[in-house]
Amino acid sequence: MKLAVMQPYLFPYIGYYQLAYCSDMFIFYDDVTYIKNGYINRNSVLTKNGRQLFTLPVNNASSFTLIKELDFSNNVKKILSSIQQAYSKSPYFSDVYPIVEKIFKSENRNVAYMTSQSIIEVFKYLEVNFKYTYASLVDYDNTQDAKNKLYQFCDIFNSNEYINTIGGKDLYHKDYFIKQGINLGFISSCEFDYNQFNNNSDFESNLSMIDVLMNCSKMEIMNIIGKYNVE
């Protein structure tokens, strides 16, 4: 069984969805500290003037607080207005905007909940069977270092294969995982593009998944999600 673990992000870039898609079980790492000024609560969309960063404020944001212990602000009017203006004429706006609005206007403002829902709801839209849980619901020793936490997760879920983002090559070594009976793989996206209806210049990559959803059909999105390598 393939296992993947990642902090939840708010409508992240498609590489996150590729990691989740290639796993048999995905763990939202919600009981680690929040990354202030990171991308848990922000990403970029494409407007007629180019890339535009959106940021959903986190109340009392602190790098000393666990993700699951924080809440998002209710101030979403400006963000939703920007997304609506940017994509109102996109081919899949009427299908996708209600999903985006539902997430941003969620009554449950918990950061772990809302961010993970931006992954879960997208897979529901794509009709993908996505198996997941939250680290905070797993009975493991979270006082261990990062590597040993992953060993524990693999043991608990009887997983002999762990998939990490390509950025983890500097942190984790395959030999160490092999000694634990685990095959470690690193996922990376293949090159791809798609028609961005409001873009008359070069393709803008690594935008929020919102951009992909607004511009592509479900079939096109699944084709893009499948364009990855694991080494």
157-205 confidence digits (pLDDT tens): 999 999 999 988 888 999 999 999 999 999 999 999 999 998 888 999 9
The model carries a pTM of: 0.96
List the structure tokens of 162: 């762990």
136-160 confidence digits (pLDDT tens): 999 999 999 999 999 999 999 999 9
**Res 123: pLDDT:** 98
Q: What is the DSSP letter of 191?
A: P
Is residue 209 a contact partner of residue 99, using CB atoms and an 8 Å limit?
Answer: no
What does each C-alpha distance from 28 to 45, 51, 85, 119, 199 come to in angstroms?
Answer: 24, 28, 31, 10, 33
The conformational region for residue 191 under phi > 0 = left, psi -120 to 50 = alpha, else beta, is beta
Q: What is the DSSP letter of 79?
A: H
Radius of gyration of the chain (CA): 18
Is residue 47 a contact partner of residue 82, using CB atoms and an 8 Å limit?
Answer: yes
Q: With a cut of 90, say whether residue 56 has pLDDT above it.
A: yes
Please name the residues in contact with 18: beta carbons below 8 A apart, sequence gap of 6 or more.
187, 189, 225, 227, 228
Q: Cα(9)–Cα(96) distance, rounded to whole angstroms?
A: 18
| Mean pLDDT confidence for 99-117 | 98
